[in-house]
Amino acid sequence: MMVKNIVIALGFLFVSCKGSTQSKKEMETAKADSKESTFKVVKTDAEWQKELTPEQYYVLRKAATENPFTSEHLKNKEEGVYVCVACNTELFKSETKFKSGTGWPSFYQEIKGNVAYDVDYKIGYKRTEEHCATCGGHLGHVFEDGPEPTGLRHCINGVALKFIPAKK
Ligand code: FE
């Protein structure tokens, strides 16, 4: 009877240790992956570096900002859609593009659901960062000094965008 009780007690001990070890490990994995796992397109840093040009890589993956007035998209007035250069997700429609004078391609509205937001304090004050909702690539920031109807200015790095002309 005594031996049987000890065996049962040991059995409980083993199960409970295993249980807690597993859940701790699962929690750590979930924590480490929480940012990446929210995106449909996930690649390693080395893969992105191989696929993107150095300029695209630093902007999209390292949240760098391109030099103003360098984007080929600035003077583009064609009808079409601007897609993520890394994963081809449609991000901005040409009809929402406006001339902001900042030197960066600017839009008053994103294609809803395809752009995701975060907050950064990189230059000392709070800014709303925006990124591709599919691959997580950094696009730019949103400011509340844009034109109607939204009053928003999506200030986007042109190097993160690829323009697809509308079919005529
Ligand atoms: Fe993307």
Q: Which two tokens stand for residue 106?
A: 């600017």
Give residue 37 CA to ligand 1 midpoint distance, Å. 14
pLDDT at 40 exceeding the cut of 80: yes
Mean pLDDT over each residue of the chain, to the nearest integer? 86
pTM more than 0.75: yes
DSSP assigned state of 79: S
Tell me the residue type at 147: P
Asked if the model's pLDDT at residue 25 lies above 80, the reply is no
| pLDDT, position 38 | 80
Mean pLDDT to the nearest integer, 134-149: 98
| CA diameter of the chain | 87
**Among the listed residues 35, 79, 39, 53, the one whose alpha carbon sits nearest the alpha carbon of residue 160:** 53
Stretch 135-139: mean pLDDT, rounded?
98
Distance 14 CA to ligand 1 centre (A): 46
**pLDDT band with cut points at 50, 70 and 90 for residue 5:** low
pLDDT at residue 3 above 70?
A: no
Query: Is there a catalytic annotation at residue 17?
Result: no
Query: How far does residue 62's CA lie from ligand 1's centre (Å)?
Result: 14
- State the sign of the Cα–Cα–Cα–Cα dihedral 48, 53, 59, 60: negative
